[in-house]
Structure 1
Amino acid sequence: MNKTGIRNLAPKIISILFALVLWVYVMSVINPRVSRDLVNVPVKLVNLEELKAQGLVLVGSEDFRVRVRLTGRRDEVFKISPEQIQIKADLRGYKLGVNNVPLEISAPNNIGIDVSPRFIRVELEEITKKQRDVKVLITGSPKKNYVVGNLDYKPTAIWIEGPESYVNSVENVVAKLDVTGETKNLLLSLPLKPVNSRGEEVPGVEVKTAYVDVSLSIDLLKSVPIKPDLQVTTGDGHVISNVEINPKEVILKGQEEILKGITEITTDIVQVENLTTDQVIETKLKLPQGVTLQEEVPITVSISLQKVEEETYKIPKDKIIFNNLNEKLKVDKNNIPESVDVKVVALRSVLDSIKESDISIEVDLKELTANEYTIEPVVQLPFTIEKDVKELQLNPETINIKLVEKK
């Protein structure tokens, strides 16, 4: 080596040393090694389908998350996004029960990576398939004067599938139907959910039939009076004084188009012969097809009797009224009895209400001339009394009347 080469070597060595020092400075001060923590990094579960083929299924949530620590140069560590880190748990080959599955980690080169925890704990159960009853739960209330009627739905039982412990905890498969404010019949499909004995939805259970077809009638309520259908005969000397139905009205339940034409409801025929004492008879109602009672109650008919009595009233002859007498004639009353008996047959309550002044005996003399006549008088009572009288008889039934000319 000549002297010139020796002289050039020293600067080269110094340059290399300076560059090395500068690189060390940059790497240690400007771009140092750092650590970065990522939390809630998801773990991807692989070969779940293979588990299912073996008749096994994962119990609980499939959402496993871990903490990841990245170590490396600052610029490389902070340019890594969570999506670039892949953490897997391969479930192939694991058996029934609790298993610790190691995590497989994939990250860019030149980066140190540490995961906590390094294992996930998974529980595997056998896949079970069972049948459970379907129930439709009705919530809310229809509009005022409307009620829920007949409920029909299909299917009434379905198959569910999932982890054995989950499937065993399912009490029913339910659908919810809200009827708030409804007035019309409902026909719809509702989603089904598996629930436990507390009514809580059981996750992780597959319902093989997702929907139930529901038919629900919404019925109208209508209050109508009851009309008794009586075929009653009474014994001698007795009449029906009062009939009471209890209750007087009932609330019917049925479809609106049926109830709108009903104004009253009749009982079955109440048939009694020769009734001589008060009776309380239980009967039933003649309900049209498609109509029911909102509440079943006993229907009774109370029949009250009174004995018929008679009373005789003596009406003096001067109380007899002669109508339409010719103005040229007068009545010779010498042949008229001093009094006329009026026999009234009625209930005692009616007889007690009659006064002698209520009884009127009238004789019609229209177009009669001077002569002697045998005439049947007419007995009159006020209508409010006469309508309740069973028999009205005059004794004697006829009277002899002599008409003479006035002088």
Structure 2
Amino acid sequence: MENTNKRGAYIALSILIAIVLWVYVGYINSNEDTYTIRNVPVVFTGEEELAERGLMITEGANQTINLSVRTTWSTLLKLGSSTMSVSVDVSGIENPGTYSTGYRIVLPVGVSNNAVSITGSTAQNIAYTVARRTQRSIEVKGIFDGDVADGFQQGEFAFSPSTILVDGEEDAVNQVDYALVTISRDEPLSETFTGEMPFQLIGFDGQVLDVKSLNLETDVSTVQVTLPVVKLKEVELKVDLLPGGGATADNAEVDIEPSTITISGSEEDLATKDEIVLGQIDLSQVFSQNTYTFDIPLEAGLNNVSGITQAKVTVKITGLATRTLEVDNIQFINYPEGCTPEKVTLSCQVQIRGEQEAVDAVIPSQLRIVADLSNAGRGNQTVDAKVYLDGSSNVGVVGEYKIVVNVQRN
């Protein structure tokens, strides 16, 4: 009997609670009150039309307002700064200036206009500024905040892209001078740095610009940066001496100015690079002392850090005797068919060089002057000739020779 009474009491209490909740829910769904919705965002529509006219919203582009609304508690739960906004139409604006425009309340999906009444706000109109919009391409520059390792050298920055497009209000865009990438390292660099890096916009006064406050946009947010770091090496300059005219490398004193230069490149490229050969010098063309000028050649991938692009090479022949002989044994080869060459030059003074005893032993009949007429035309002309010395391997002919010949048709 007692359990039956308790069960009845529980049932009665449950019914009472349900009735109270039903009455309460009905009350809050049917009774309205005034509430404040804070930080409702302002959304501008028609900005595409503004952009087509070369205009943009600057001041007031990101703002909010507070709204006083009268509604039920259940509807209020659906309202907030994340679910509603106020809309301002700017599609009709055609000129820069300051504007104050009315707005339209945008309610969440599922909430009708009849369910909410706007009783007040912090602004009756939305104030904003429309300015001339422009774009400008600026250069990307780099700075390295650190050190390179001993024996290495920093190269020039390379960027991809090398220019950045800045977009925004004309006055703000015109403040930008260039974009700056900064690479900072605590440890000395001994190899090339490559990476995707952010950048800062720098004004004409050299100061970093506040992109957000100036409402500036760029077509990229990062750039690919390469900072070459190469090894340095001092290498010797040399020439190849071709024996001739009775002289060999043992008879030549060579002075090269400069004698060395400093070059840069990868460690792999420099590993076996100890000297640079400027070129060849034929000792048969050096009488006693000659000076030559050579360009300093470098393979691809190497750079001349010294900056000296030419070297002067002085060659002096020592320890040999010279002698001049008159030679009249002049011969012609490869002359044109149907033609006969006639000597105009009858003899030449030929200089020979070698050890004194060997030079003294040479007689003029051992020398012959040979002119190749393969490329000769008809008539009198000067042609190159080569002098041969027969019967002596320790003496050579020095210099170049020319003779005059008259080629006549038969």
Larger Rg belongs to: 1
TM-score class normalised by the smaller sequence: 0.3 to 0.5
**TM-score by structure 1 length?**
0.47
